[in-house]
Homo-oligomer: A and B are copies of this chain.
Amino acid sequence: MIKMIALYKQPKDKKKFDEHYFGTHAPITAKIPGLRKMEVTKITGTPMGGESEYYLLCEMYYDSYEAFKAAMKTSEAKASGKDLMSFAGDIVTLMVGEEVKND
């Protein structure tokens, strides 16, 4: 599968971030047509026990590049992107990737 990955650095205000992320952003994003699965991971630290530079990882799965590209053109995706920039534009890194191994 193809996935879009959003990796967020530690926000200044975690409570505010969580409220917006889970209360507004995730529901808007979940409406994007063609989105097959959305996996959200809260980063809790590093293997050595310290705090990570990162706070949250979201993976959004699509069937193919074509499906992903088509999805990005929808008004739902544009609304999600606009919302993202409004609350996390300065701390988010976006990537597109292809699952090569899953076992």
Q: A7 → chain B, closest Cβ, in Å?
A: 7
Checking B3, B43, B99 against A95 with a beta-carbon cut-off of 8 angstroms, the contacting residue is B43
A66 touches B (CB below 8 Å): no
Which residues of chain B are near A103, meaning CB under 8 Å?
A: 30, 37-38
Report Cα–Cα, A42/B96, bound state, in Å. 9
The answer on a CB contact under 8 Å between B100 and A57 is: no
Asked whether any CB of chain B lies closer than 8 Å to the CB of A67, the reply is no
List residues of chain B with CB within 8 A of the CB of A95: 43, 45-46, 52, 54, 57
Q: What are 8 residue pairs bridging A and B, where the CB atoms are less than 8 Å apart in the complex?
A: A5-B57, A37-B102, A37-B103, A39-B101, A40-B102, A41-B97, A41-B100, A46-B95
